[in-house]
Structure 1
Amino acid sequence: MYSTTDFKRGLKIELDGTPYEIVEFQHFKPGKGGAMVRTKLRNILNGRVVDNTFRSGEKVGRPDLEQRDMQYLYQEGTDLVFMDMVTYEQLHLKADFCGGKERYLKEAQQVSVLLYNGEPIDIEIPLSLILAVIETEEVAKGDTVNNITKPAKLETGIVIQVPAFVKVGDKVKVNTENDEYLGRE
């Protein structure tokens, strides 16, 4: 069990048999009564964000979550296939559970898979990845003075905006949370 004094961003709690992740929290004391904690919680199973207020000192459950290091193998229809690095057991996860993170997966990439009550529910990828540019437009000479960007297709199939000087074959660093170009490697 967790108490409201344990709350922090990213903490995973369980309410009414559903796992949530704390996105935001704020302690406050109204004019009358005891202190309270106002939170924004993300449902780990479906991604919805809900607001909830707890009384100070209130207890919440600890979800049965487990993280395992796995290797992404391939996509089979709408399923993503992973292999447990310890037991070599293969695991199928629906791509729509990943919330867009599957767009950054490359074959043989190591990821952390989140299991709830033994069932896979989410994957954890790094905040930034280095990916190769496989397709982009050439920019006219002299058109690099302005701060212009152009679309570039990366090796995983995702398209992001990159500066004009980036060309096919370059490796770029990408923020996986907002598909933003971070630099060239």
Structure 2
Amino acid sequence: MVEVGDLKKGMVIMVDGEPYRVIDVNKHHMAMGRGIIRTRLKSVKTGLVKEANFSSGERVDEANLTFRAAQYLYSDGDHYHFMTLDDYEQYALTEDDIQDAKWYLIENLEVSIVFLEDKPIGIQLPNVVVLKIVETEPTFKGDTVSGGGKPATLETGLKITVPFFVESGEFVKVDTRTGEYVERA
């Protein structure tokens, strides 16, 4: 059981006996009463999206998931192909299954495939991945007063903000949970 206040995007929960992936979570607080947790849920089995409201403090069941170590192989446009490391079995997942994880996938990246009742429903990325910067603006001397950063495009197409001293062609570590720059690799 997990409290609805702790729900996060991507979690798989059981609602009315059916597995749903949390797409969006919004917390609303009332003046004198308890808060309301508004969620958008996508059915793992049918793909239908529904909205559900929970009272603060309510509990829901977490789906019984299993994880298997795997390696990302390639994408053929429609599917992303993975191979489990224990028995070398291959699985093809759609873009709907992996969602925003597609921005962090590079060949041979080790991930975990998430299974619900022996059916793959998604992947779990490592917390940090190393990606190459393919395009960023040049740095000018003395351009560090603001303490901000500059936009950069990574090899997967992901756009992030990097410090001014980072150049094109360098490798950087990116946090897969927040999508933010961590450090140079």
Do the structures match in fold with TM over 0.5? yes
Partner SS for 2:107: coil
Distance 1:39 1:20 in 2: 16
- 1:66 deviation in Å? 2.0
Partner of 1:51: 53
Residue correspondence of structure 1 range 67-82 to structure 2 within 5 A: 67-82=67-82
Distance 1:161 1:49 in 2: 33
Distance 2:50 2:176 in 1: 20
List runs of 5+ in structure 2 lacking aligned partners.
Answer: 28-32
**CA root-mean-square deviation:** 3.4
Residue correspondence of structure 1 range 102-141 to structure 2 within 5 A: 102-141=102-141
Distance 1:50 1:152 in 2: 37
Partner of 1:28: none
Asked whether the 8 Å contact 1:20–1:43 carries over to 2, the reply is yes
Partner SS for 1:178: coil
Distance 1:127 1:48 in 2: 29
Residue correspondence of structure 1 range 97-176 to structure 2 within 5 A: 97-176=97-176
Distance 1:84 1:133 in 2: 29
- 1:160 deviation in Å? 1.0
Partner of 1:90: 90
Aligned residue identity for 1:179: G
Partner of 1:3: none
Deviations for 1:122-179, whole angstroms, at most 9, x for unmatched residues? 1111233232222222122222332242221223221211111111232222222332
Distance 1:178 1:158 in 2: 12
Deviations for 1:6-37, whole angstroms, at most 9, x for unmatched residues? 43546854222322468799xxxxx9xxxx9x
Asked whether the 8 Å contact 2:70–2:85 carries over to 1, the reply is yes
TM-score norm. by structure 2 comes to 0.72
Taking a change above 3 Å as real, the CA distance of residues 70 and 40 of structure 1, as seen in their structure-2 partners, is farther
Asked whether the 8 Å contact 1:127–1:176 carries over to 2, the reply is yes
Deviations for 1:56-77, whole angstroms, at most 9, x for unmatched residues? 8x8x666453211111000012
Distance 2:133 2:80 in 1: 23
Aligned residue identity for 1:7: V
Aligned length: 170
Aligned residue identity for 1:138: P
Aligned residue identity for 1:88: Y
Partner of 1:17: 17
Taking a change above 3 Å as real, the CA distance of residues 125 and 109 of structure 1, as seen in their structure-2 partners, is same
Taking a change above 3 Å as real, the CA distance of residues 70 and 49 of structure 1, as seen in their structure-2 partners, is farther
- 1:106 deviation in Å? 0.8
Distance 2:101 2:37 in 1: 25
Distance 2:56 2:164 in 1: 50
Higher CA-based Rg:
1
- 1:184 deviation in Å? 2.4
* Identity of matched residues, %: 36
- 1:182 deviation in Å? 2.2
